Structure 1
Amino acid sequence: MASNRPAPEALIPHGSLIEGADGGEGPGGHTGYADQAEAFAPAGYAGCASPEPPASWEEWNPTAETVRPVRGKHRIHKKGGGLARSSTVLGVGVIAAVGAGGIATAQGGKPPVSIALPDLGSLPGVGSLVDGDDTAAPATAAAAAPLSSAGVTGADAERGTTDAGEVLRARILQQAEDQHHQADDAQRRQAEDAAVARAAATATAQQGKAAAEAKAKAAEEKRKKEAAARKKREAERLAKLAKSYTLPASSYVLTSHFGDSGAMWSSGRHTGLDFAGSNGSPLKAVHSGTITEAGWAGAYGYRTVLKLDDGTEIWYCHQSSLSVSVGQKVSTGDVIGRMGGTGNVTGVHLHLEVRTGGAAIDPLSWLRGKGLTP
């Protein structure tokens, strides 16, 4: 606690009010002031002498009944108000001291009343004002002192942050930065997941494409193998048939084919295959079967009909002579007649027809189906 100091001199001495320039009077029934700048100037300043009170005024002598001594000490309880509340108390104390000093001066020679002030140096930011220290370090230290340390952790203190506001600000900034990092991490993870999904989809598509290509290739290879197998089986069948089938003539030239059009044929189209050759050359049975017809047949000349076991009929037309009779069984390669030019012809040839179910078909295709190449 600091020692009590004498009260400062009153800034406005009693009786400083003077008559106004217009003859009026000052306060307390007096109207007007003289020069206010001079009237209110503190006593003791150069060029500002204290004026004497008018003769009509009576000196006010306060007594014990009118002046109440100030006893004890004014104590200021430090509460949550901080610096602002302490400054208010200090201002009240200074005003009280100034007022008391003026009253003491007005008593005419009586010792001034001492005002006991509390030791305000312990309050943050107030001690430098009371002591009159011109050094800025205490004020700066007081201003830098935190008003509250609520929420300050040991880690904050180690970092040099002891102000609750700064701690809260630092934590808010850190939280915002953490949230920003979390958002970046989430976006990065989302991008990575999307890239992984795209890569998986691409891999799946590639695998599916590869599987489809492999399947198609396997199917194509299978088809080729099956085609080769069928061709082989057909060749074997034709080779076997070729042993049981034969061409009707040995020396010939194909002149007219099945389906040729012309006026020489009654239907307007050729219904068989012509083998042109020499007159009297032998004609052979293409396969084993039974002779169902052998004789003259008008435009066909001498004709022999050979019926095979499957019901197919082979017609040999325009023969010069016949070598078989109706009902006779023949085998492949047996001679059934001779090539000639009887009937409606323009030259020596064999007119060969193949009929199934009574309708004529292409003899060339049929012979090839039996493994023969005319």
Structure 2
Amino acid sequence: MASNRPAPQAPYVPNDDDFGGYDQESWEEWNPTEESVRPVRGRHRVHKKSGGGLARSSTVLGVGVIAAVGAGGIATAQGGKPPVSISIPDLPGVGAVADSLPDAKSLPGVGSLMSDDADSADTVTHAAAPLTAAGVSTDDAEQGTTDAGEALRSRIMRQAENQQDQADEAVRTAAEQAAVKKAADEAAAQQKAAEEKAEAKAAAKKKKEEEARKAKAEAERLAKLAKSYVIPTSSYTLTSHFGDSGSMWSSGHHTGLDFAAPTGTPLKAVHTGTVKEAGWAGSYGYRTVLELEDGTEIWYCHQSSLNVSAGQKVSTGDVIGRVGATGNVTGPHLHLEVHTPDGTGIDPLGWLQGKGLNP
């Protein structure tokens, strides 16, 4: 430890030859006291003697070096470095000077400096001794780790564990997110399937209601038509139908619908219309042709008598003639034919059923 205290001056005053011919009488004996060795703050004060002699502080420094060498040489530094030996040539009177110097520790203030330096050196030595504890943190010390390598290994292991925990947490989070997404997709699919099922059910219900509405409307229409259309006769039996084949018909098939009934059974107008023809028609016998408002023609054939004439207006249910067996027949019956406005013959049974009638 450095100090600013000036070194004590030796009580011995060498002769002029020993110190380069300086005037010995200019030197005075100096007795050090605590006041004279008190440390000086700031710059070192150097006292020079008049006449160009060496400064007292320089003289003291030289004497101090000689005293240190005489006391046993330069101290070796800690750390195992070999000591460096210094040889001092013998000078006349140096031995006497060294013997007359007081012990360094007995000087006022010097002993405490040497003690402080020693304590400091011991402190530094003790502080630097546990090299294996370098890098040991407070947490490591609390866990009982005092070795630097073990502490480093422990920190690496903890870091690896933390990284593994983070990786596991990332995997777990990804799995949870995937499960949530899957559940959401399944819920959406179920919701969509339920909506589609509900829509299909609603469509089926709507279709069924529409069909019921149409059926009801058709029934109402047929009921209304039934009021305006009637079956052409009564007490009858259907014997031959439209399209039946046989040699008795010149065309090879039957062209109408036969209502077998007793002769004289009344024949009624199936609907309001105008009598287009009324008279003899060859193989049809006595025939009445009733033209309806839409141009459809109804032929009443094989009558025994006629009750209307051509051009006459008739209403639904009016008697226009009577059942007979005139023309090409095998017995009394009404041969009924239906022709469209263009003259094509169609099935009378289907036409009557289309008007709400069921012969």
TM over 0.5, yes or no?
Answer: yes
2:207 to 219, 223, 228: 223
Output the amino acid matched with 1:275: F
Residue 364 (structure 1) aligned with residue 349 (structure 2): yes
User: 1:75 aligned to 69, 74, 77, which one?
Assistant: 77
Q: How far is 1:72 from its partner?
A: 5.1
2:155 is the counterpart of 1:153: no
Q: CA deviation at 1:344?
A: 2.1
Query: Tell me, what secondary structure is at the counterpart of 1:147?
Result: helix
Provide the rounded CA distance (Å) in 2 between the counterparts of 1:192 and 1:342.
Answer: 97
C-alpha distance in 1, partners of 2:133/2:171?
40
Superposed, 1:291-306 pairs within 5 Å as: 291-306=275-290
Residue identity in the other structure for 1:286: V
What residue in structure 2 maps to residue 324 of structure 1? 308
Query: Are positions 1:269 and 2:281 aligned together?
Result: no
Distance change (3 Å), C-alpha of 1:156 and 1:317: same
Q: Give the aligned partner of residue 336 of structure 2.
A: 352
Counterpart for residue 279 of structure 1: 263
Q: Distance in 2 between matches of 1:262 and 1:203?
A: 71
TM-score of the aligned structures, taking structure 2 as reference length: 0.64
Separation in 2 of the partners of 1:216 and 1:226? 15
SS of the aligned residue for 1:175 comes to helix
8 Å Cα contact 1:146/1:163 also seen in 2: no
Q: 1:316 Cα shift?
A: 0.9
In the alignment, is residue 240 of structure 1 matched against residue 224 of structure 2?
A: yes
* Residue of structure 2 in register with 1:289 after alignment: 273
Label 1:268 to 1:188 Cα distance change in 2 as closer, same or farther (>3 A): farther
User: What is the match of residue 113 of structure 1?
Assistant: none
The answer to whether 1:177 aligns with 2:179 is no
SS of equivalent residue, structure 1 residue 191: helix
TM-aligned CA deviation for residue 365 of structure 1: 1.5
Does the 8 A contact of 1:282 with 1:338 survive in 2?
yes
Query: What root-mean-square deviation, in Å, do the aligned CA atoms of Structure 1 and Structure 2 show?
Result: 2.9
CA distance in 2, matches of 1:370, 1:351: 19
**Correspondence for 1:308:** 292
Residues 124-203 of structure 1: pairs in structure 2 closer than 5 A: 147-150=132-135, 152-203=136-187
Offset, 1:262? 2.1
Cα 1:269–1:181 shift into 2, 3 Å: farther
Q: Once the two structures are superposed, what CA deviation does each residue of 1:57-90 show, in whole Å capped at 9, x if it has no partner?
A: xxxxxxxxxxxxx96554343xxxxxxxx6xx7x
Contact 1:304 1:316 in 2 (8 A): yes
What is the alpha-carbon distance in structure 1 between the residues aligned to residue 328 and residue 163 of structure 2? Answer: 110
Taking the aligned partners of 1:219 and 1:339, their CA distance within structure 2 comes to: 54
1:212 corresponds to? 196
Unaligned runs of 5+ in 1: 1-69, 78-85, 94-118, 125-141
TM-score using structure 1 length: 0.61
Structure 1, residues 134-190: CA drift from partner, whole Å, max 9, x if none?
A: xxxxxxxx9xx552523x332222112233322221222112112212222221222
SS at match of 1:319: strand
Give the letter aligned to residue 357 of structure 2.
L
Q: Match for residue 233 of structure 2?
A: 249
Q: Following the alignment from structure 1 to structure 2, what is the Cα–Cα distance between the partners of residues 273 and 165?
A: 120
Task: Classify the secondary structure of the residue corresponding to 2:132.
Answer: coil
User: Structure 1 vs Structure 2: percent identity of aligned residues?
Assistant: 65
Measure, in 1, the Cα distance between the counterparts of 2:146 and 2:255.
121
Deviation at 1:334, TM superposition (A): 0.6
Aligned length: 251
Kindly indicate whether the alpha-carbon contact (under 8 Å) linking 1:146 and 1:162 is maintained by their aligned counterparts in 2.
Answer: no
Partner-residue secondary structure (3-state), 2:197 = helix
* Distance change >3 Å, CA 354–CA 177, structure 1 → 2: same
Q: Residue 116 of structure 1 corresponds to which residue in structure 2?
A: none
Corresponding letter in the other structure for 2:242: F
- The equivalent of 2:322 in structure 1 is 338
1:41 counterpart residue number: none
